[in-house]
Amino acid sequence: MKKVDKEVADAYFKTRTRLVIIFLGVGFLVSFGVVAFAEFFSQFKFMGVEFHYYMGSQGAVIVFILCLFLNAIFSDKIDKKYGITDSANATISSNKNTD
Amino acid sequence: MDPQLFVSLGLILATFALYIGISIFNRAKATSDFYVASRGIPPLWNGMAIGGDWMSAASFIGMAGTVMALGYDGLAYIMGWTGGFLLLTFLLAPQLRKYGRFTVPEFIGDRFESNPARLIAAIATVIISFTYIIGQLSGSGVVIGRLFNIPAMYGTMIGVVIIAIYATLGGMKGVTWTQVAQYLILIIAYIIPIVFMSLQVTYNPLPWLTYGNVVDEIGAIDRELGLSEYFAPFAESDKSQFIALMFTLMVGTSALPHVIVRFFTVSTMKAARWSGAWALMFIGILYLSAPAYAAFSRFILMTQVANQPIEDLPAWTESWINTGLLQAADTNGNGMLDWTELSVGEDIVVMATPEIANLGLFVIGLVAAGAMAAALSTAGGLLITISSSFAHDIYYRLMNPQATDAKRLKAGRIAIVVSTIVAGLVALDPPGVITQIVAWAFALAGGTFFPVLFLGVWWKRMNTQGAIAGMLIGLLSTLTYIFLAMSGITLFGIQDTGAGLISVPINLLACIIVSKNTPPPAKHLQDDVIDLRYPEQMTYKDGEVWMNDGTDK
């Protein structure tokens, strides 16, 4: 066991939290944001159909999927930067379960 | 035996044999196998299993029909049911996974060190999962019943027996791998018909790229008929109801115990994040296709069935008119079937489309097998969740903590058989409209669990009293609003299906206010919550973070 500086530990948590807030914000805008101004967006067309309909039927879902994959990739990078290795995580995790 | 029945029956029996074979191969030997599949499922496969677990008969059979009937307003279901995975993967799943428990009630009981909280959570889990499973069993009954021309009742019974066999044998381990197989079957069965329809209507095999123009054309036909355009926003309901429904579905999705428990089957927080990403991709394939399904079906019905002489209706219409789900009558007596004289039941869109587009015996049978896969995979996951609430949370954690592994495993199996039989009996005579009951299950899950789980993993000050108050007040306010809305009293035009927008904030406030006014939780519980901020390799203890680099203990 090695002690981690408080600033380092806090920085890890802060970076991860910022990521979560950004992605949830994007997800909120493409779903609730577009719905709230659906009448306004209906004047634009995208892929053959009114923009508000496109966002509801395809756009929002595609953005959601991208958010989740980008979060998984960025989080892995952050873990790596802080010296976290996945195999160590898995071993520690399986010892800690209350199975 | 007519050839169609022969092909459909053959496909369904082949898939049943596959599911039972998989669960025999993955037979559960220890309680950890039975509840969380030994926590060794790789993220990609877990994502696929979440897809099978999550997409129910309602998604497979009903959603395209709902979008077709409601137009833009039906898209609240698409965004709500997919957006929930954002909340789940960002706010709950990795943290709950690091906590390392078997079930949601177990997390609540241990995090708040309270057996009353554990019991309330276990009972709420059973109520939510039971509401949901009744829909699945009725759904499989409808498919089997239609196929063999027997009453849906016997169909339900057959479905119940199949599910009970493979869930009892394999537990979570068996259910995981059957759900993977079921996902693959249901997605193939969903995509093939729309690819053919897209070819027929637009000469392009990629429906996702082409249906926008079809939606536009449908809108043009609507305009000609003097109806509100298909894509017009808020034609069927208020904007407030659209937002409330979308919110309820999102929050409900992220708090459904049978979905959360799937994240307990992977090894780490990282694996939980990747599971969520893969899951939404696999689910997205179906959800991106449902509006295309709706658009093509509506277009074919508008252009090839409507505006035809009433005597010349295509042959497939007859069998569906007999079921009462399709109504076509020349009410104004002009000898033609107008679009407004055609009424299409929401549940027949997916099931009837292969016939409407004339896709042949094999595809019709495949769609039937896909619908069964969707119903069975969700029912399997729900049964494990119900059984673990009884056998693990109530029997083992509350009644007999000394029970041996073998005894707990036996209790789990008995709980599955009993709950399957009870759910089957209720499903023989469902207590209302299925889609509505399913929407209530989401409002109940979000209203009871979401704020408690969310604050439980992120806010160390959250205590026992806050959790109990939150769950009880949330449950009560959800039920109250549903009943009020059903009897016509609504706030801001929000209907019963949008109850979550009312009850989730009330629950959240109850948790915060009660926690703030009662003593803080014990120090080790607060430390546990801060520990959830970090990956497994970092441990928080007494105000310091330690990195486990394998050098010493």
pLDDT tens-digit profile, chain A (99 residues): 777 777 788 888 888 889 889 999 998 888 888 777 777 767 777 776 777 878 878 888 899 999 999 998 988 888 888 777 777 777 777 766 655
Q: What is the pLDDT of residue B281?
A: 92
Q: Would the pLDDT of B322 be above 90?
A: no
Residue B52, token pair as written in the block: 């099978």
Domains in chain B: ranges and CATH = 3-545 (1.20.1730.10)
Size of interface A-B (CB pairs under 8 A): 195
Query: Contact B446/B501 with Cβ under 8 angstroms?
Result: no
Give the chain A residue nearest B100 (alpha carbons): A97
Query: Contact B290/B78 with Cβ under 8 angstroms?
Result: yes
Query: Contact B373/B184 with Cβ under 8 angstroms?
Result: no
Which residues on chain B are in Cβ contact (under 8 Å) with A60? 78-79, 82-83
Instruction: Specify the amino acid at residue B269.
Output: M
Q: How far is CA B431 from CA B131, B303, B438, in A?
A: 10, 37, 12
Q: Would the pLDDT of B161 be above 60?
A: yes
Q: Would the pLDDT of B441 be above 70?
A: yes
Q: Any CB–CB contact under 8 A between A64 and chain B?
A: yes
HSE-CB for B365 with a 13 A CA cutoff:
17
Report which DSSP code applies to B171.
Answer: H
Residue B553, token pair as written in the block: 């203990």
Radius of gyration of chain B (CA): 24
Q: Would the pLDDT of B36 be above 70?
A: no
- Contact yes or no for A68 and B536 at CB 8 A: no
- Contact yes or no for B79 and A1 at CB 8 A: no
Residues in chain B, total: 553
Q: How far is CA B160 from CA B7, B13, B425, B434, in A?
A: 22, 15, 10, 17
Q: Average pLDDT over chain B, rounded to whole?
A: 80
- Residue A97 CB coordination number (10 Å): 17
* A 2-21 residues inside an 8 A Cβ radius of B: 2-4, 6, 8-9, 12-13, 16, 20
How far apart (Å, rounded) are the C-alpha atoms in residues B433 and B451?
28
DSSP notation for A45-86:
EETTEEHHHHIIIIIHHHHHHHHHHHHHHHHHHHHHHTT--H
- Contact yes or no for B538 and A53 at CB 8 A: no
Q: How far is CA B349 from CA B6, B68, B187, B298, B375, in A?
A: 23, 8, 16, 9, 17
Q: Any CB–CB contact under 8 A between A58 and chain B?
A: yes
The Cα angle at residue B48 between residues B295 and B65, in degrees rounded to 5: 20
Query: Contact B132/B382 with Cβ under 8 angstroms?
Result: yes
- Contact yes or no for B284 and A86 at CB 8 A: no
How far apart (Å, rounded) are the C-alpha atoms in residues A95 and B188?
39
Averaged pLDDT for residues B74-102: 87
**φ, ψ at A49 (rounded to 5°):** -140, 160
Residue with tokens 């959570």: B121
Instruction: Specify the amino acid at residue B79.
Output: M
Query: Contact B18/B181 with Cβ under 8 angstroms?
Result: yes
Measure CB to CB from residue A56 to each of B75, B232, B269 and give the nearest one: B75
- Contact yes or no for A68 and B85 at CB 8 A: yes
User: Closest Cα partner for B242 from B490, B60, B493?
Assistant: B493
B240 or B155, which is more confident = B240
Measure CB to CB from residue A48 to each of B39, B216, B281 and give the nearest one: B216
Q: What is the pLDDT of residue B553?
A: 46
Q: What is the pLDDT of residue B95?
A: 86
- Contact yes or no for A24 and B535 at CB 8 A: no
Q: Any CB–CB contact under 8 A between A97 and chain B?
A: yes
- Contact yes or no for B544 and A13 at CB 8 A: no
pLDDT digits (tens, 9 = 90+) for B52-61: 888 887 788 8
Which residues on chain A are in Cβ contact (under 8 Å) with B536? 88-90, 92-93, 96
Instruction: Locate all alpha helices (DSSP H) within B255-358, ordered by sequence.
Output: 257-260, 269-300, 316-323, 348-356
**φ, ψ at A46 (rounded to 5°):** -145, 130
Q: What is the pLDDT of residue B298?
A: 80
CA B184 to chain centre: 16
Instruction: Specify the amino acid at residue B346.
Output: E
**φ, ψ at B429 (rounded to 5°):** -135, 75
- Comparing B160-169, B310-319, B416-425, the range with the smallest average pLDDT is B310-319
Q: Any CB–CB contact under 8 A between A77 and chain B?
A: no
Query: What's the whole-model pTM score?
Result: 0.86
A21 or B351, which is more confident = A21
Share of chain B above pLDDT 70, in %: 85
- Residue B528 CB coordination number (10 Å): 18
Instruction: Specify the amino acid at residue B439.
Output: A
Which residues on chain A are in Cβ contact (under 8 Å) with B67? 57
| Percent helix, percent strand, percent coil in chain A, to nearest 5 | 80, 5, 15
Measure CB to CB from residue A58 to each of B288, B540, B553 and give the nearest one: B288
CA A94 to chain centre: 26
Closest CA–CA distance from residue A5 to any residue of chain B (Å): 7
Which residues on chain A are in Cβ contact (under 8 Å) with B216? 48-50
- String of b and e for B488-521 (b: at least 16 CB within 10 Å)? eebeeebbbbbbbbbbbebbbebbbebbeeeeeb
Closest CA–CA distance from residue B67 to any residue of chain A (Å): 10
Which residues on chain B are in Cβ contact (under 8 Å) with A89? 267-270, 535-537
Averaged pLDDT for residues B119-128: 88
* A 21-50 residues inside an 8 A Cβ radius of B: 23-24, 27, 31-32, 35-36, 38-39, 42, 46-50
The Cα angle at residue B442 between residues B115 and B395, in degrees rounded to 5: 25
